Amino acid sequence: MLRNLLATAAMASALIVAQPSLAASPPNMLVIGTNLTGIRTLDPAQNNARTVSELISNLYDNLVQLSPDDLKTLKPMLATKWSVSDDAKVISLTLRDDAVFQSGNPVTAEDAAWSIQRVIKMGQVGSTDIALWGFTPDNVEKLVRAKDERTLEIELPRPVNTDLVLYSLAGSSIGIVDKKTVLSHEANGDLGGAWLSANSAGSGPFALAQWRPNDVAIFNAQKAYWGGAPAMARVVARHIPESGNLRLQLEAGDVDVGQYLASGDLDALSNNKEMVIDNVPGLGFYYIALNQKDPDLQKPKVREAFQHAFDWKAISGNIMRYTGFPWQSMIPRGMIGAPDEAASRYDYDPAKAKQLLAEAGYPNGLKKVLNPSGAATLPFAEALQASARVAGLDLDLVPGEFTPAFRERKYEVLLGNSGARLPDPFAVATQYAYNPDNSDEARLGSYYLWRAGMKVDELNTLVDQSMKERDTGKRTEIFKKMDSVYSGMDAPLVIFFQRTDPYVMRSAVKGYHGHTTWSTRWHDVTKE
């Protein structure tokens, strides 16, 4: 019996070891190790989060695009040229004539119009940006229309800076879908939403070959792509939630690009000559949210105390090394109206925090519940808990996923991070400074200031103005004013870092550039 056992074991190990060394990722295939958790659907109209935006941007083309290294200049994509009417009410885009969907249908202005109408009518998270311009399910069919086969007209229902509108057209949610194909799979009037969650019908350089939620997404190159066939014949996005595992696979060459690696693994990989870490700045911040529905947190001195209760310097060189840089202004660095430097507005000063608390009526400190928005912000929250303790703030840390609770205003102190897709301070301002209706019934969950429970009319006006103003110089002034109002009011959203997203890739991978607006494209990727 033992002899049989040994024989089986020997045979099994021989089988395994005799594998051809296809371990390394093949030269014409790009393997991305990432986290696919929570991606319910691949329908552009239903998405705007980071990972899925990347996947969608390669299945679907947009009308216009922004290259990763120049976020101000719009470049042609499906539209070759565009113009704005003199009264700034109508944008006309001329589409190229050689773009073809993966089904073989040509890309027409009708597809473009329908795609945009669809986003508005479905009203999912994909419509967050474009709905800002005043499109509603009732008016969108009239306002967004195909003038002819090659011309798309977008009429704006209210005065808006047209650059902003064009920026929103470059977002992955407004990928142009194949109207005929999608409608042929419509069920129960869902505009094809159910079918599109696991299938693709775009004109992008890749088509969806396989999709297994929380496991793997496989893309095949489209040779007939109008921009030329991509060098990668296949792209595989693999769900590798364990950072240590992903790192081992990167080092072994099984994976070419890694996302969502933990700080420890990033530190180790930074010493590896075969690895390149691209730290892409994001359009968002790490912040502490203080629920203004809580009577203690309403007091301005308490809010000010929180500004001095966090030792952000201690973590900026280690935990935050790859995920953010110190920044304390609501205008992202490098954007119009941004201050030159914003890392010294408030410092860690526990004594001052204690004093402020005493002045506010809490001489013995304050006890509150602290929630991280999710697993990503937990270490940040732990650091906050420790430094706040010295300042007299006893924060009871309850881990978990609290973004839904945040949206419902059911929290006390929350630590979160945000992201946006429009490369303009207006996007961030909408999140952090805008709140037209502070009532509970309004349920304005997409505005962080509503989630924090504060309404500032002056900021509302400034945000509105920044949306309508056409002159760049004037907009710069508006944003500067916004910044000074915000920092002077002891805001309930205390900003500490501007977010960065690290992308790790093997040095053999060329042409892969993580995009600030998350529309990372694979068309130009090659491997040496």
Partner 1 sequence: MTMSTEQADRIDGSRFRKWLRAPEPQGWFQSSAQQFHQGWLKFRLHPLGLAGLAIIVLLILVALAAPLLTAYDPIVQDMAGRLSPPSAEHWLGTDNFGRDVFARIVYGARTTLYIIILVSVIVAPMGLLIGTCSGYFGGIVDEVLMRITDIFLSFPGLVLALGFAAALGPGITNAIIAISLTAWPPIARLARAETLSLRKADFIAAVRLQGATPATIITRHILPMCIPSVIVRVTLNMAGIIITAAGLGFLGLGAQPPWPEWGAMAATGREFMLDSPWVIAAPGIAIALVSLAFNLVGDALRDVLDPRGSQ
Partner 2 sequence: MANADLVSKRNSDTTFSEEEVAYVAPHPLAIILRRLAGRVVAIVTTLLGLLFLTFSMGRLLPADPVLAITGPEVSKEVYDRVYNELGLGQPILVQFLSYVGRVATGDLGTSATTGQPILTDLLAIFPATIELAVIAMIVGALVGVPLGITAAVRRGTVIDHVARIVALAGHSIPIFWTGLMALFVFYAKLQLVGASGRVDVFYEGLVTPITGFLLIDSAVEGQWDVFQSALGHIILPGAILGYYSVAYISRMSRSFMLEQLSQEYIVTARAKGLGRRKVVWRHAFRNIRVQLLTIMALTFGGLLEGAVLIETVFGWPGLGQYLTRGLQMNDMNVVMGAVLTIGAVFLTINILSDVLYRILDPRTR
- Chain residues binding partner 1 by CB under 8 A are 243-244, 247-248, 262-265, 267-268, 311, 314-315, 318-319, 375, 378-379, 381-383, 385-387, 396-400
31 touches partner 2 (CB under 8 A): yes
3-state secondary structure of 276: strand
Calculate the CA 87 to chain-centre distance.
33
> What is the bridge-based pairing of β-strands 70-76 and 64-67?
antiparallel
Residue 128's SS3 state is: coil
Rounded to the nearest 10 degrees, the angle between the axes of helix 350-359 and helix 378-390 is 70
Closer Cβ to partner 2, 56 or 478, answer by number: 56
Residue 334 or 400 with smaller CB distance to partner 1: 400
| Least CB distance to partner 1 at residue 370 (A) | 10
Based on the shown chain and the rule CB under 8 A, indicate whether residue 14 belongs to the binding site for partner 2.
Answer: no
Quick one: 23 or 187, whose CB is closer to partner 2? Answer: 23
Q: Say how far apart CA 492 and CA 303 lie, in whole Å.
A: 6
* 413-440 burial: b if 16+ Cβ within 10 Å, else e: bbbbbbbbbbbbbbbbbbbbbbbeebee
Cβ(438)–Cβ(451) below 8 Å: no
CB of 213 to partner 2, least distance (A): 4
SS (H, E, C) 187-243: CCCCCCHHHHCCCCCCCCCEEEEEEECCCEEEEEECCCCCCCCCCCCEEEEEECCCH
Q: What does the block give as tokens for 320?
A: 């935050």
Shortest Cβ 348–partner 1 spacing (Å): 11
Indicate the residue type of 34.
T
- Our finding on whether 121 is near partner 2 (CB under 8 A) is no
C-alpha 191/C-alpha 183 separation (Å) is: 6
Residue 29 interacting with partner 2 (CB under 8 A): yes
Report what 5 binds from partner 1, partner 2, none; CB cut-off 5-8 Å by kind: partner 2
Strand bridging mode 70-76 / 393-397 = unpaired
- Please pick, from the candidates 134, 159, 445, 511, the single residue that binds partner 2 as defined by CB under 8 A: 445
Residue whose C-alpha is closest to residue 177's, from 234, 113, 122: 113
Stretch that binds partner 2, among 107-115, 213-221, 314-322, 418-426 (CB under 8 A): 213-221
- Residue 250, φ and ψ in degrees, nearest 5: -65, -45
Six token digits for residue 206? 């890749």
Establish if 443 lies at the interface with partner 2 (CB under 8 A).
yes
Q: How far apart, in whole angstroms, are the C-alpha atoms of residue 248 and residue 266?
A: 12
Q: Is 17 exposed, middle or buried (0-12, 13-18, 19+ CB in 10 A)?
A: exposed
Report, in Å, the least distance between residue 247 CB and partner 1. Answer: 7
Sign of CA dihedral 423, 428, 430, 433: negative
Instruction: Please choose, out of 103-111, 377-385, 431-439, 442-450, the segment that lies near partner 2 by the rule CB under 8 A.
Output: 442-450
What Rg, from alpha-carbon coordinates, does the chain have?
25
Count of residues interacting with partner 2 (CB under 8 A) = 65
Which range in 81-89, 174-182, 231-239, 478-486 contacts partner 2 by CB under 8 A?
231-239
Q: Which of 3, 17, 189, 473 binds partner 2 (CB under 8 A)?
A: 17
- Indicate which of partner 1, partner 2, none lies near residue 99 (CB less than 5 to 8 Å, by partner kind): none
Q: 37 vs 318, which CB is nearer to partner 1?
A: 318
How far is Cα 286 from Cα 382, in angstroms, rounded to an integer? 14
Whichever of 123 and 227 has its CB closer to partner 2, that residue is: 123
The yes or no reply on residue 264 touching partner 2 (CB under 8 A) is no
Window 169 to 208, contacts with partner 2 (CB under 8 A): 197
Nearest distance from residue 23's CB to partner 2, in Å? 6
Provide the β-strand partners of residue 146: 152
Binding of partner 2 by 401 (CB under 8 A): yes
**Binding partner of residue 20 among partner 2, partner 1, none, CB under 5 to 8 Å per kind?**
partner 2
**Which of 29, 489 has the CB closer to partner 2?**
29
265 binds, among partner 2, partner 1, none (CB under 5 to 8 A by kind): partner 1
Q: Of partner 2, partner 1, none, which one sits near residue 137, judging by CB under 5 to 8 A according to partner kind?
A: none
Among 27, 137, 228, 244, indicate the residue that binds partner 2 (CB under 8 A). Answer: 244
Q: Are 42 and 197 in contact (CB under 8 A)?
A: yes
Q: Does residue 345 belong to the site contacting partner 2 (CB under 8 A)?
A: no
Interaction residues for partner 2, span 34-53 (CB under 8 A): 37-41, 46
Give 223's contacts (C-beta < 8 A, 6+ positions apart): 229
Task: Give all strands (DSSP E) within 315-440, no chain letters.
Answer: 324-326, 366-372, 393-397, 413-417
Quick one: what does residue 382 bind among partner 1, partner 2, none, with the CB cut-off 5 to 8 Å set by partner type? partner 1
Residues binding partner 2 (CB under 8 A): 1-2, 5, 8-9, 12, 15-23, 25-26, 29, 31, 33, 37-41, 46, 123-125, 128, 197, 209-210, 212-216, 218, 236, 238-242, 244-246, 248-249, 251-252, 254, 375, 400-401, 403-405, 407-408, 441, 443, 445-446
